[in-house]
């Protein structure tokens, strides 16, 4: 049954990405998907404006986590969640955090009726345990992060932030960064009421330089596109600036203003396109900038052609699409869930049933059988409809801009088959370049063997080959 607020797969969009973040002094990892039991918790439900099912399951999960009963907590998860995270991994998180002093009551998250936040108090800090629950009371999301007054849950390719001092101190610049060759300054830009802060990184050894604007993947990303110990956009900014290319990166609207955004507010334009165009306009006004390129990652790459098409001719010198989908995003979600289900070598009956239900849901969306304001995979149906209308391949065909597509061979979120589809569609154009790096994952970080969500917990850096490919492209595109 499709319901406005109770659709059991409403957050499976985010199931393919394990959320990881390191902050003082904690490590965070998690996963989202689907799944069967409930408990009454009427007093807290009334207090937090949550349904008894959501409040009860969230309270129970928080109590289990605080008590160190990780096996029971794991059993509250749905099949695909259980396939993606182990009891040992949950215990490792709990051990790193230490002993819980107090467990708060479940609190509602505006616009997300299936999600609750429980504040856990430790001797030296607090964390927000964000829990998403399906209509049967099974956990479909579990996310730990530093306590904030306003928090919007969400995750995809890269969506958690690490703002603590320990995380900052533990991050080290990649070896391809050349210290002393660039500087940074911050600014505020954007639509009144929705202003964002960004960082402009620019070379200091020349008076004129090309510039790129970085556009994030889905989820409430910070300007570094932080995922666990990894800072994807900082790697790109510092690496490119070391090669004479300025970079502008900024906090995403859903990261800064997520607390006041309702599902009706969220469209591809409000989430990504409008702010990306504003960022491009800001960069164009900066002294020394000779030309501007747009560099999108994942969802940012998917929407890059639409961003470019709405700009006056000559605004952009080219597009760089990192891990860009060719198919509709909801179809990729099915692939991601299938991949995660089989990664242990076995697909259980429960997992098969869950995948079949997801496939039915996607078919219903494609057939136009869901109300426009219904929740679907964590966003309103109208969001998905508009995303389909902004399909990147046909828009890219209409553009005359030079394009560079970069793909990791170990990417399971946007697999190499997407890259091959792009090559089939645009491979004959002389101003389109394709770069496939076999050992890179979705974060463009090197590794070996099949990629897993747990891989995102490990510190790494965007491969130097990616930096060099973008630098070469920015050096020749529209530059003779």
How far the first Cα of the chain sits from its last, in Å, is 58
Q: Buried b / exposed e across 302-314, counting CB within 10 Å, b at 16+?
A: bbbbbbbeebeee
The answer to whether the beta carbons of residues 147 and 215 sit under 8 Å apart is no
Residue that has been written with the tokens 């989908």 in this structure = 325
d(CA 1, CA 147): 35
| Residue 391 Cα to chain centre, angstroms | 19
SS3 185: strand
Catalytic residue, candidates 275, 411, 433, 451: 411
Residues recorded for the chain: 480
Catalytic residue, candidates 257, 297, 382, 442: 442
Residue that has been written with the tokens 């001797």 in this structure = 123
Catalytic residue, candidates 156, 270, 298, 451: 298
In the chain, the largest separation of any two C-alpha atoms, in whole Å, equals: 69
Q: For residue 323, what are the contacts with CB-CB under 8 A and spacing of at least 6?
A: 157, 217, 297, 298, 301, 406, 407, 408, 411, 413, 414, 442, 444
User: Which one, of 215, 221, 220, 223, lies nearest residue 184 by Cα?
Assistant: 223
d(CA 347, CA 190): 46
Judge whether 218 counts as a catalytic residue. Answer: no
Helix axes 232-241, 464-476, angle to 10 degrees: 50
Judge whether 411 counts as a catalytic residue. Answer: yes
Strands (E), 107-222: 107-109, 112-121, 126-133, 139-146, 182-189, 196-203, 209-215
Give the angle 227-73-154 at the CA atoms, nearest 5°. Answer: 30
Other CB atoms within 10 Å distance of the CB of residue 75: 14
d(CA 19, CA 155): 7
Residue that has been written with the tokens 């689907």 in this structure = 34
DSSP annotation of 312: P
- Adjacent-strand bridge partners of 185: 200
Question: Residue 262 has which token pair?
Answer: 């309702």
d(CA 123, CA 120): 10
Judge whether 290 counts as a catalytic residue. Answer: no
The answer to whether the beta carbons of residues 457 and 92 sit under 8 Å apart is no
Sign of CA dihedral 62, 64, 65, 70: negative
d(CA 336, CA 363): 16
Residue positions annotated with a catalytic role: 298, 411, 442
């Amino acid at each position: 049954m499709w319901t406005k607020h109770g659709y059991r797969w409403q957050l499976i969009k985010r199931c393919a990405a394990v959320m990881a973040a390191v902050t003082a002094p904690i490590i965070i990892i998690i996963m989202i998907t689907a799944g069967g039991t409930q408990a009454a918790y009427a007093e807290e439900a009334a207090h937090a404006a949550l349904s008894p099912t959501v409040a009860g399951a969230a309270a129970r999960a928080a109590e289990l986590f605080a008590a160190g009963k990780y096996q029971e907590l794991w059993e509250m998860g749905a099949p695909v969640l259980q396939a993606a995270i182990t009891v040992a991994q949950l215990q490792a998180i709990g051990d790193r955090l230490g002993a819980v002093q107090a467990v708060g009551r479940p609190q509602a998250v505006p616009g997300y009726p299936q999600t609750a936040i429980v504040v856990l108090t430790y001797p030296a800090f607090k964390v927000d345990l964000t829990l998403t629950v399906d209509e049967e009371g099974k956990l479909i999301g579990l996310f730990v992060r530093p306590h904030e007054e306003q928090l919007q849950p969400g995750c995809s390719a890269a969506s958690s932030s690490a703002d603590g001092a320990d995380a900052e101190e533990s991050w080290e610049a990649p070896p391809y960064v050349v210290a002393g060759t660039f500087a940074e300054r911050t600014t505020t830009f954007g639509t009144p009421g929705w202003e964002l802060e960004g960082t402009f990184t620019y070379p200091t050894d020349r008076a004129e330089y090309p510039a790129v604007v970085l556009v994030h993947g889905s989820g409430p990303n910070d300007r570094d596109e932080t995922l666990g110990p990894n800072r994807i956009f900082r790697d790109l900014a510092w690496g490119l600036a070391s090669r004479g290319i300025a970079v502008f990166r900024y906090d995403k609207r859903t990261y800064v203003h997520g607390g006041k955004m309702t599902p009706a507010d969220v469209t591809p334009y409000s989430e990504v396109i409008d702010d990306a165009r504003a960022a491009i306009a800001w960069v164009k006004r900066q002294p020394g900038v000779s030309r501007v390129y747009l560099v999108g990652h994942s969802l940012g790459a998917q929407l890059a052609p639409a961003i470019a098409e709405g700009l006056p001719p000559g605004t952009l010198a080219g597009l760089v699409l990192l891990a860009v989908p060719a198919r509709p995003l909801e179809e990729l979600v099915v692939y991601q869930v299938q991949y995660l289900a089989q990664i242990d070598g076995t697909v259980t009956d429960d997992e098969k049933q869950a995948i079949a239900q997801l496939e039915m849901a996607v078919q219903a969306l494609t057939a136009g059988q869901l109300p426009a304001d219904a929740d679907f995979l964590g966003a309103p149906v109208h969001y998905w409809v508009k995303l389909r209308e902004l399909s990147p391949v046909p828009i890219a065909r209409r553009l005359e801009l030079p394009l560079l597509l970069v793909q990791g061979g170990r990417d399971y979120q946007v697999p190499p088959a997407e890259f091959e589809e792009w090559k089939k569609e645009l491979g004959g154009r002389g101003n389109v370049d394709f770069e496939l790096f076999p050992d890179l994952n979705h974060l463009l970080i090197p590794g070996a063997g099949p990629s897993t969500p747990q891989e995102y917990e490990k510190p790494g850096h965007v491969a130097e080959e990616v930096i060099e490919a973008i630098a070469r492209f920015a050096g020749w595109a529209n530059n003779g």
